[in-house]
Structure 1
């Protein structure tokens, strides 16, 4: 029986990817207008960004323990191997919840082949790790081989991103009120990255004209062998700018394959419209 890969909706992969690679998906919850929605299923990123543009503040919550327990139990009972690749534990409690439920299920089914891995990644950076694992599973690789490669892939996945308005990150507790206010006042566009699963500010730039060029410079400084990589780009309802960035990267590095998708509803609720993120493997990846 083949190995099943599972990911959550913070991978920002559309349902089409999950269908194509026969993967399981679990959804984070988005709370908007006093209603709960399943990220990637009953609400679209566009809905979230449009709501934020008119001043609404969507909230999110992690995958429920019961959801994990139910899925893990079904795989334990059917004796099928399941590898759940989780959204960064530094950005959500979903990984910890999954680990708890894995332990509970294994008390009843000690031989269950269920593995829960913290990718320390987010958005399409996480999505690229998931797709790589899914392709390995389709190629008949063992669970040990997939897990080892996932850890290598995750560890060396660069996340370089910018947001249009620091206010959204302030609301999500990512930057101080002063930084958000000063940033908006001076039209400062931050460049951030993910380090050990956490959001870390990297640089600040005035205005957005030089932003794409600087993101590509950082890409060149940190990575290599781009023509043999799949490069990820996610955007907060700004496909035009995402495609412009892709064209610039293609021209400079000869990249052949991109995954370009919306920043999903759950992550977008914190980063806001106008977010632009770039994902690639760094020089340490072997």
Structure 2
């Protein structure tokens, strides 16, 4: 049986030390300020990126680069290893389709190789938790096919919810109307958004005040976690809002003390649409027997 390598993309927002520890191959997602494109050799730290946004610079995001995908995948195939790629939601980017296209081309060239691509229908640490599960299951000697099947069967058990501090970025990204953005800004009402089972962004309503919106992220976890289910990891992601992220993490620790809490930055290609101050919560809810 051939060995296989687990890969993913930078939109998974995996902590840098985790990537290094597991020597993960990461397909970069790109973003730009004007004509300057970032995401691979040239990059900005999250702090630099969000500071530029605060100063009024407006970035754009773009899909991954097929040439870069081919290069990274081919290096793995040349080592006689297969690939299990865990991808960003296909409904939010063309990146998934780019990976599938290159995978098909490479399997025609490397006849004995397999590249399996999993559409997580997820973003940020919601996507990352599937990578972590895949790594855990590989260590337990599960095959690539077994892991892929588990990932696809459990996509609907992932939950991602977030709120933003400045609704104008949602307007720029086409998520809300200009009138709505003006009204929300005036009355200090914060939107709550979530990722649907189909991997699309949708509104969960609004709430007045920043602190109340952050508390609601944790309160809403109770809609999915029951006495018969558990989540072993909870992710808190933020866009230059570490103190708010720590506040949310403290609420999670009080309510779900058995869960591992991970805090990380929202990557620029996602943060382009959320803006500075965005806070998200991500968690995978599983039946007890699946833990």
Aligned length: 286
Deviations 1:13-58 (A, max 9, x none): 1332111122110111121253111169722111111011111111
Identify the residue that residue 180 of structure 2 maps to in structure 1: 179
Contact persistence 2:31–2:268 (CA under 8 A): yes
Q: Provide the aligned C-alpha RMSD in A.
A: 2.0
Partner of 2:33: 32
TM-score (norm 1): 0.93
Alpha-carbon offset, residue 283 of structure 1: 6.3
Please say if residues 90 and 120 of structure 1, whose CA atoms lie closer than 8 Å, have aligned partners that are also in contact: yes
SS of equivalent residue, structure 2 residue 240:
coil
**CA–CA distance in structure 1, aligned partners of residues 46 and 258 of structure 2:** 27
- Aligned residue for 1:206? 208
3-state DSSP class of the match of 1:92? Answer: coil
**Worse-matched range after superposition: 14-23 or 243-252:** 14-23
Q: Secondary structure at the match of 1:210?
A: helix
CA contact (8 A) 2:231 2:284 kept: no
1:68 to 2:41 alignment: no
Query: Which residue, out of 268, 271, 282, partners 1:279?
Result: 282
Distance 1:164 1:121, change over 3 A: same
In 1, distance between residues paired with 2:26 and 2:154?
A: 20
CA distance in 2, matches of 1:281, 1:52: 31
Change (3 A) 1:13 1:188: same
Segments of 5+ residues of structure 1 without an aligned counterpart are none
Q: Structure 2 vs 1, CA of residues 230 and 241 (structure 1 numbering), >3 Å: closer, same or farther?
A: same
Instruction: List 4+ stretches of structure 1 deviating above 4 A.
Output: 225-228, 283-286
In 2, the alpha carbon distance for the partners of 1:283 and 1:261 equals 23
Task: Tell me which residue corresponds to 1:240.
Answer: 243
- In structure 2, what is the equivalent of residue 193 of structure 1? 194
- Please say if residues 25 and 72 of structure 2, whose CA atoms lie closer than 8 Å, have aligned partners that are also in contact: no
Check 1:14–1:282 CA distance in 2 against 1; reply closer, same or farther (3 A cut): closer
Deviations 1:115-158 (A, max 9, x none): 11111100111111111112222333210121122223432110
Partner of 2:166: 165
TM-score (norm 2): 0.91
Residue 97 to residue 48, structure 1, CA distance change in 2 (3 Å): same
Unaligned runs of 5+ in 2: none
- Aligned partners of 1:223 and 1:281 also within 8 Å: no
Distance across 2 between alignment mates of 1:25 and 1:65: 13
CA spacing shift, 1:247–1:40, aligned 2, 3 Å: farther
